[in-house]
């Protein structure tokens, strides 16, 4: 079980460290956990894609449409990414989680810990009503992280993956279920007050 994780918005030097994690590998090249197969790119296109993605997320953030990735820091080292994304969040109050870790950091409980952290952020700070996620049929680790966090299966969809039809399991965790499952995880969130309006959340939650 991992000890204590930090999820934070990265500086550009953090992104340089993150790119090294990407270069070292995220998954077996025989498999593809992502619908957009960004990890198939060769260097230096791979590094450029990673940086452009982060800069795009920063520059295109609006209350109606945002993709909010955090770097995951374990014992002072950047080990991966935990993201939360939403469309029309002020109305729908639903956000989708996505994540990856460098191969060297997988299988040690970090995936579950960072998911619990982002889910707490969504419900406690953003007053979300539900969080969703998805995992391909052949991605057992991702499925297990969703189930262990309390998400429930919510049907399947087909996506084009590396030019082929692939089935994905959808997952949902409602606010009601999350509050019933409350664990004793200690999660501290800093800096939210200054940016509530960026999410269309002008007033402090009661
Ligand atoms: C998915 C990912 C973030 C999970 O993080 P992680 O730190 O490896 O996950 P954890 O160690 O916290 O938990 C993994 C769980 O899956 C289980 N698991 C792992 N591989 C498995 C397999 N092949 N079959 C069944 N269960 C498996 C583990 O036993 C563990 O379950 P537990 O609740 O019984 O302990 C990580 O593996 C990863 O980055 N994978 C590549 C990218 C990716 O798939 N991203 C998600 C796209 S949807």
DSSP annotation string for 125-178:
IS--SEEEEEEETT-HHHHHHHHHHT-EEEEEEEEEETTEEEEEEEEEEEHHHH
Superfamily of domain 5-131: Gcn5-related N-acetyltransferase (GNAT) (3.40.630.30)
Q: How many CB atoms lie within 10 A of CB 56?
A: 11
- Measure 205 CA to ligand 1 centroid, in angstroms: 34
Q: What is the pLDDT of residue 2?
A: 45
pLDDT at 205: 54
Distance 100 CA to ligand 1 centre (A): 10
- pTM of the complete model: 0.96
Q: If you count DSSP H runs as helices and E runs as strands, how many of each does the chain have, helices first?
A: 6, 7
Ligand 1 atom with minimal separation from the 114 CA: 12
Compute the half-sphere exposure of residue 81: CA atoms within 13 Å on the CB side of its CA: 23
Please tell me the residue having the least CA distance from ligand 1 atom 12: 109
Query: 6, 149, 142, 188: which is closest to 79 by C-alpha?
Result: 6
Tens-level pLDDT at each residue, the chain (206 residues): 445 899 999 999 999 999 999 999 999 999 999 999 999 999 999 999 999 999 999 999 999 999 999 999 999 999 999 999 999 999 999 999 999 999 999 999 999 999 999 999 999 999 999 999 999 999 999 999 999 999 999 999 999 999 999 999 999 999 999 999 977 678 899 999 999 999 998 766 54
């Amino acid at each position: 079980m991992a000890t204590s994780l930090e999820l934070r918005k990265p500086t550009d030097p953090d992104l340089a460290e993150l790119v090294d994690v990407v270069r070292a590998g995220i998954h077996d090249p025989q498999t593809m956990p992502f619908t957009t197969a960004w990890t198939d790119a060769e260097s230096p296109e791979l590094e450029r894609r990673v940086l452009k993605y982060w800069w795009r997320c920063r520059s295109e953030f609006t209350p109606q449409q945002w993709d909010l990735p955090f770097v995951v820091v374990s014992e002072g080292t950047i080990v991966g990414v935990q993201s939360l994304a939403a469309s029309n969040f002020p109305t729908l109050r639903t956000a989708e989680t996505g994540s990856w870790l460098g191969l060297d950091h997988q299988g040690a409980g970090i995936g579950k810990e960072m998911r619990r952290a982002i889910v707490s952020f969504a419900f406690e700070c953003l007053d979300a009503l539900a969080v969703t996620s998805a995992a391909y049929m052949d991605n057992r680790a991702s499925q297990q992280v969703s189930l262990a966090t309390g998400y429930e299966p919510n049907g399947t969809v087909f996506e084009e993956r590396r030019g082929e039809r692939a089935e994905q399991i959808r997952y949902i965790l409602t606010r009601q279920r999350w509050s019933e499952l409350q664990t004793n995880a200690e999660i501290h969130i800093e800096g939210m007050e200054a940016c509530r309006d960026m999410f269309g959340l002008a007033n402090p939650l009661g």
